[in-house]
């Protein structure tokens, strides 16, 4: 009787083990696919021509115009951002509808921080014909401040300034340089 119970228990354990073994399947590929989907953009847009306007005093003012061949939307991430892998052209207008043009070969906009990271032959041309050239430039939308720690060239009507590290308000009226080089003309 005791041998029969051991035999029944062994058969039962074997049957359960075999059932578990064959019911489990290799789902590593499924897990890997989920990870890939989470790293993919939630949206993709091409040939963007986005206009940002403001309605006041019964008129519509154009504040900015963003042009880009491609945008990838990663708002499905915990730290959401939009990527412009093929570059941007951004036209920003002041109260007098004068245009500042910003060009970059690559850009990324961090939604939660309101910071734009511009990279690759960045050029900013103001209505006053001042032009800033650098390889990377950040723009903080909340404080309306631009900055870089990279080498730059700042061409103004009064001369050309070379340096490393640049901090400025969006109009380039109040700017600072970390390291300076080139020719500078100072008005008294």
Say which CATH number the domain at 114 has.
2.60.450.10
The predicted model scores a pTM of 0.72
**Do 161 and 154 form a contact (C-beta atoms < 8 A)?**
yes
Reading the block at residue 156, the tokens are 């103004």
| 85 contacts: CB under 8 Å, gap ≥ 6 | 70, 72, 106
Per-residue pLDDT at 143: 83
Long-range contacts (CB closer than 8 Å, 24 or more residues apart) made by 13-21: none
CB 115 within 8 A of CB 107: no
Asked if residue 187 belongs to a domain, the reply is: no
Domain, as residue range, for 31: 1-39
* pLDDT above 90 for 103: yes
Question: Do 61 and 88 share a domain, yes or no?
Answer: yes
Q: What's the average model confidence in pLDDT over 115-135?
A: 93
Residue 188's pLDDT band, with cuts at 50, 70 and 90, is very low
- % pLDDT > 90, the chain: 34
Taking the CB of residue 84, how many other CB atoms lie within 10 A of it? 24
**CB-hemisphere CA count at 13 Å for 187?**
3
């Amino acid at each position: 009787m005791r041998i029969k119970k051991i035999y029944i228990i062994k058969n039962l354990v074997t049957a359960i083990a075999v059932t578990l073994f064959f019911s489990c399947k290799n789902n590593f590929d499924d897990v890997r696919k989920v990870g890939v989907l989470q790293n993919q953009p939630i949206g993709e847009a091409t040939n963007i021509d986005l206009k940002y306007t403001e309605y006041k005093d019964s008129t519509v003012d154009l504040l900015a115009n963003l042009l880009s061949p491609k945008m990838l939307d990663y708002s499905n991430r915990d730290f959401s951002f939009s990527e412009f892998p093929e570059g941007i052209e951004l036209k920003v207008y002041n109260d007098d509808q004068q245009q500042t043009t910003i060009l970059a070969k690559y850009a990324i906009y961090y939604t939660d921080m309101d910071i734009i990271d511009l990279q690759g032959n960045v050029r900013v041309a103001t209505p006053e014909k001042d032009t800033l050239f650098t390889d990377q430039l950040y723009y903080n939308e909340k404080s309306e401040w631009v900055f870089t720690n990279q080498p730059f060239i700042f061409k103004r009507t009064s001369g050309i300034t070379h340096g490393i590290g640049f901090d400025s308000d969006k109009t380039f009226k109040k700017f600072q340089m970390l390291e300076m080089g080139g020719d500078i003309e100072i008005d008294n």
